[in-house]
């Protein structure tokens, strides 16, 4: 008998409301030989709800490298496997890339089964421009790294979309206010498709204060959406000074000036002179102190 072709299905599952599963996803999950799930307990609740008895195996960040060869061998033998995450579309800040990339390299069939995604769900209802957006996943956990990360994203013209947990959402909103200022619209989407789904909008600092004083608004998982940069050409001195002060706190002067130029549209030499005037980062981190045009700080 001819051997059945192995197929890897990448299956999107509900992000909250179990009714959001597609008929195709239900059919695939009930007919495959195995479901590779980020959290088998979470997936089992979904399968039990729909009366699906397919065998599951845990496949997550901590065992992905070790387990991928075993799943690829099963696919080579003709088995059909569904890859699912805790919620939403796999690989969107979830494990699975190692398996999908390896399957593609081996010429195996990989079939997406589309459905819910927290990124698209939030973007569709936030009221921010969606013709261009950049999904950037979770911010770094450490404060300094988070602010540098946000600073590097500051010049992006499209809407920024990021994930955050309730434990760090206030700190991330405060960092957004410090790094990107108060002129950008920010929307936070909480508990999407669930009973307490909430959308809040406003300046980052206002949202941070609201969540800091209302513990209930910090429950659950968050999607944060930030209006893209509207800067055209050079910005005023006040904005240049604000950006330089933030960057010089953690970066050598030359790096701060270079990144500041990208964020503000200002000329490097002008920013360098402003930094010297403000006594910011007078000596470079490597002791060189050379400006962008080779001049020396004194």
> What is the mean pLDDT of the segment spanning 148-166?
94
- Which residue, 234, 237, 191, is CA-closest to 216? 191
Cα–Cα distance, 35 to 57 (Å, whole number): 6
Lowest mean pLDDT among 48-57, 128-137, 239-248, 258-267: 258-267
- Residue 155: pLDDT band with limits 50, 70, 90: confident
Determine the pLDDT at residue 237.
78
Determine the pLDDT at residue 212.
96
Quick check: 10 pLDDT over 80? yes
Mean pLDDT of the chain: 90
Secondary structure class of 117 (helix, strand, coil): coil
What are 57-93's pLDDT values in tens digits?
999 999 999 999 999 999 999 999 999 999 999 999 8
The residue with greater pLDDT, 198 or 230, is 198
Question: What is the number of other CB atoms lying within 10 angstroms of the CB of residue 262?
Answer: 14
Determine the pLDDT at residue 2.
52
What are 227-246's pLDDT values in tens digits?
998 754 445 677 888 888 89
Of 1-15, 45-59, 282-296, which one has max mean pLDDT?
45-59
Determine the pLDDT at residue 182.
84
The label of the residue with tokens 């796999």 reads 90
Query: Do 245 and 256 contact (CB within 8 A), yes or no?
Result: no
**Buried/exposed 100-136: b ≥16 CB within 10 Å, e otherwise:** bebbeeeebeeeebebbbbbbbbbeebebeeeebebb
Quick check: 287 pLDDT over 60? no
Query: Do 153 and 227 contact (CB within 8 A), yes or no?
Result: no
Give the predicted TM-score (pTM) of the model: 0.76
Determine the pLDDT at residue 63.
93
The label of the residue with tokens 């699912």 reads 84
Determine the pLDDT at residue 294.
47
All domains in the chain, ordered by first residue: 7-116 (3.40.1010.10), 119-226 (3.30.950.10), 233-298 (no CATH)
- How many Å separate Cα 174 from the centre of its chain? 17
């Amino acid at each position: 008998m001819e051997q059945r072709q192995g197929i890897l299905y990448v299956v999107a599952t509900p992000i909250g409301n179990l009714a959001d599963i597609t008929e195709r996803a239900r059919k695939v999950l009930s007919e495959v030989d195995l479901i590779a799930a980020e959290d088998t307990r979470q997936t089992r609740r979904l399968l039990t709800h729909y009366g699906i008895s397919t065998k599951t195996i845990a496949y997550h960040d901590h065992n992905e490298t070790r387990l991928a060869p075993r799943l690829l061998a099963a696919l080579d033998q003709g088995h059909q496997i569904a890859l699912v995450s805790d919620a939403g579309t796999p690989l969107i800040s979830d494990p699975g890339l190692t398996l999908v990339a390896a399957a593609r390299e081996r010429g195996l069939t990989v079939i997406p089964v589309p459905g819910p995604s927290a990124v698209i769900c939030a973007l569709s209802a936030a009221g921010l421009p969606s013709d261009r957006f950049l999904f950037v996943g979770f911010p770094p956990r450490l404060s300094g790294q988070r602010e540098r990360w946000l600073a590097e994203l500051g010049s992006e013209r499209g809407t920024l979309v990021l994930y955050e947990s309730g434990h760090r959402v206030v700190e991330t909103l405060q960092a957004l206010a410090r790094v990107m200022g108060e002129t950008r619209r920010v929307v936070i989407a909480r508990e999407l498709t669930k009973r307490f789904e909430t959308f809040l909008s406003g300046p980052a600092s206002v949202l941070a204060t609201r969540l800091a004083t209302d513990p209930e608004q910090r429950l659950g998982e968050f999607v944060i959406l930030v209006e893209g940069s509207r800067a055209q050409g050079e910005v005023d001195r006040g904005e240049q000074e604000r950006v330089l002060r933030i960057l010089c706190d953690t970066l050598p002067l030359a790096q701060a000036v270079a990144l500041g130029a990208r964020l503000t549209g200002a000329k490097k030499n002008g920013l360098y002179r402003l930094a010297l005037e403000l006594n910011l980062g007078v000596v470079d981190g490597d002791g060189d102190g050379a400006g962008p045009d080779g001049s020396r700080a004194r």
